[in-house]
Structure 1
Amino acid sequence: MIVSAGGLKLRVDRRGEGAPLLLITGIGAHLDMWRPFQAVAGERELISFDAPGVGRSQRPGRPMRMRALARLVAELLDALALERADVLGYSWGGGLAQELAHRYPDRVRRLVLCATAPGLGGVPPRPLAALMLATPARYYHPKLAEWSLPLIAGGSVAPGHVRDRLAAPPSVLGYGFQLYATAGWSSLPWLHTLPHETLVVAGDDDPAVPFTNARILAARIPHARLERVRGGGHLFLLDDPERAAAPIRAFLDM
């Protein structure tokens, strides 16, 4: 469905029943890419959306910083009549989830941060992974996706990732806007103020977001715990969702 929030038309998916869990995708990713995790997420309402300029959501006229994107997500929750939700942010979406929890703490019940980092001051991607992440080309060319995804993701990359990415690629400008949103952004100055129970989940074979970032997040957030996915790459939640979903379900069901 299409929902209006913050002056933009956003593609949104709502499915299931129970406590609401808002899913925020990684850079360039559309909401259909959540399917592997949705199948094992447990008995809850799952809400996902295409970020502005990604998938089938409208691109804003000018780029938005993380603060503005967090406000947009809060307005989306208003439009969906959701006062409060658990929030799971993946990669780039984990940064936005942190910003949402910081700016609008009352809208977030529990926070799950997967394969993500605190931004500036964290450990950067390995050089080749950083180069691949700087462009959305993998969303347009099957052969390039097949070649680049293992370099970006590490771990094991399921064949379906290439098909899923090509199904609804981001606009070039929309992808650039997402890069702009996080340029120079950092959560390190205020992570210690987050009041939420938080689960940090990360693979220890992730070239895009090295595992040390998860340690930093878990150490800085007062009520955080760390779940290590041994041998997991950047796409662990989609490649082998049940292994990570089990601790996520247990955490959210507390």
Structure 2
Amino acid sequence: MSRGDDTGRRRGRVTGTIRAAGRALHVDHRPGAAGRVPLVLCSGIGTSSTLFDALVDRLDPDRPLVLFDAPGIGRSPRPIVPYRMPALACALRGVVDRLGYRRADVLGVSWGGGLAQQYAVQNPRHCRRVVLTATATGTLMVPAAPRVLLRMATPRRHRDPEYARSIAGEIYGGSARTAGPRVADLLHREPRATSVLPYLFQLAAMAGWTSLPFLPLLRQPTLVMVGDDDPIIPEVNGRIMQRLLPRGRLHRYRGGHLAVLSEAAELAPVIDRFLDGPD
């Protein structure tokens, strides 16, 4: 990692910037126990790696973790030109290599689930296991209601905490319907507001992208986690993915789009058991 002004330690994790495949990404690395396979965490659109704080606190403390901010999000430098999912997956592989790991597991939430799928198909031997939560197959999926999609088209909910609290139940479902402010506050753990251009670049990275053609090619054991009240990713998407994945497993939970974070105490053990389970 670079030793610039952004390098430090946060909650036992070494933080800094890693350059790989022509990109500079801010990375948090929790080394964990020697010899363990690391888990790479890919966050949703417009959110930095701090989104995972609640989940990190509940995962096996001996599990190495690799967290990162997408280009222009959080503490990663702003990209000059748009990028595509395959390019970002290549950079992420470079980050894992630079940290000294030969294999890795990957977990993705929402937009990050698309990146996790791309990472898995590009690295069939390097990527050991995959966890996909509150995510779908990209452009070709069962879409959310138009009103929800409209809310997602801009980063306003990442820039305006009061607005995020007012719409949390409508777009995130689950516990956000009764505890909207608490769930919405998960999006505002990073002191820097999400900029418009990097958010648009994230949208552009997903434009036209779909995993439908290659899901049957993924040979890694894959856990698909779906909520029964997710307005952004209707539950049927997870069921479609599980059927297409040769080694896919489905875990249905009671909750909404951010349940893996807001109900981490319940769902982190499910993730740990899957990652440590037999092939």
TM-score (normalizing by structure 2): 0.87
The residue that corresponds to 2:249 in the other structure is 225
The residue that corresponds to 1:240 in the other structure is 263
Q: 1:111 aligns with which of 109, 119, 130?
A: 130
* DSSP 3-state at the match of 1:156: helix
Instruction: Say whether residues 1:52 and 2:64 are aligned partners.
Output: no
Q: Is the 8 A contact 1:30 1:168 kept in 2?
A: no
Larger-gyration structure (1/2): 2
| Amino acid across the alignment from 2:80 | G
Instruction: Give me the whole-angstrom Cα distance separating, in 2, the residues matched to 1:83 and 1:29.
Output: 27
> Which shows bigger deviation, 108-117 or 165-174?
165-174
Instruction: Give me the whole-angstrom Cα distance separating, in 2, the residues matched to 1:96 and 1:77.
Output: 15
The residue that corresponds to 2:4 in the other structure is none
| Amino acid across the alignment from 1:207 | P
Q: Which has the higher contact order (CA 8 A, sep 6+)?
A: 1
Q: Is the 8 A contact 1:29 1:169 kept in 2?
A: no
Render the CA deviation track for 1:162-185: whole Å, top value 9, x for unaligned: 444343332211000000011111
User: Per-residue deviation at 1:8?
Assistant: 2.6
Render the CA deviation track for 1:30-85: whole Å, top value 9, x for unaligned: 11111110111113011100011111101221111111111111111122222211
Render the CA deviation track for 1:134-158: whole Å, top value 9, x for unaligned: 1001111122111122222101135
Instruction: Give me the whole-angstrom Cα distance separating, in 1, the residues matched to 2:231 and 2:186.
Output: 21
Instruction: Give me the whole-angstrom Cα distance separating, in 2, the residues matched to 1:165 and 1:191.
Output: 30
Instruction: Say whether residues 1:7 and 2:25 are aligned partners.
Output: no
Instruction: Give me the whole-angstrom Cα distance separating, in 1, the residues matched to 2:202 and 2:63.
Output: 29
Instruction: Give me the whole-angstrom Cα distance separating, in 2, the residues matched to 1:83 and 1:197.
Output: 18
Instruction: Give me the whole-angstrom Cα distance separating, in 1, the residues matched to 2:55 and 2:31.
Output: 13
Instruction: Give me the whole-angstrom Cα distance separating, in 2, the residues matched to 1:69 and 1:11.
Output: 13
| Amino acid across the alignment from 1:189 | P
The residue that corresponds to 2:53 in the other structure is 35
| Amino acid across the alignment from 1:23 | L
The residue that corresponds to 1:84 in the other structure is 103
The residue that corresponds to 1:22 in the other structure is 40
The residue that corresponds to 2:11 in the other structure is none
Instruction: Give me the whole-angstrom Cα distance separating, in 2, the residues matched to 1:198 and 1:107.
Output: 14
The residue that corresponds to 1:94 in the other structure is 113
User: Per-residue deviation at 1:160?
Assistant: 4.2
Report percent identity of matched pairs.
45
Instruction: Give me the whole-angstrom Cα distance separating, in 2, the residues matched to 1:84 and 1:194.
Output: 16
| Amino acid across the alignment from 1:179 | L
TM-score (normalizing by structure 1): 0.95
Q: Count the aligned residue pairs.
A: 253
Render the CA deviation track for 1:92-123: whole Å, top value 9, x for unaligned: 00000001111121221110000000112211
> Which shows bigger deviation, 45-54 or 16-25?
16-25
Instruction: Give me the whole-angstrom Cα distance separating, in 2, the residues matched to 1:55 and 1:85.
Output: 23
| Amino acid across the alignment from 2:117 | Q
User: Per-residue deviation at 1:161?
Assistant: 4.3
Change (3 A) 1:252 1:240: same
Q: Is the 8 A contact 2:165 2:185 kept in 1?
A: no
User: Per-residue deviation at 1:9?
Assistant: 2.2
Render the CA deviation track for 1:202-231: whole Å, top value 9, x for unaligned: 11100001111100110000001000002x
Instruction: Give me the whole-angstrom Cα distance separating, in 2, the residues matched to 1:129 and 1:203.
Output: 16
Change (3 A) 1:84 1:49: same
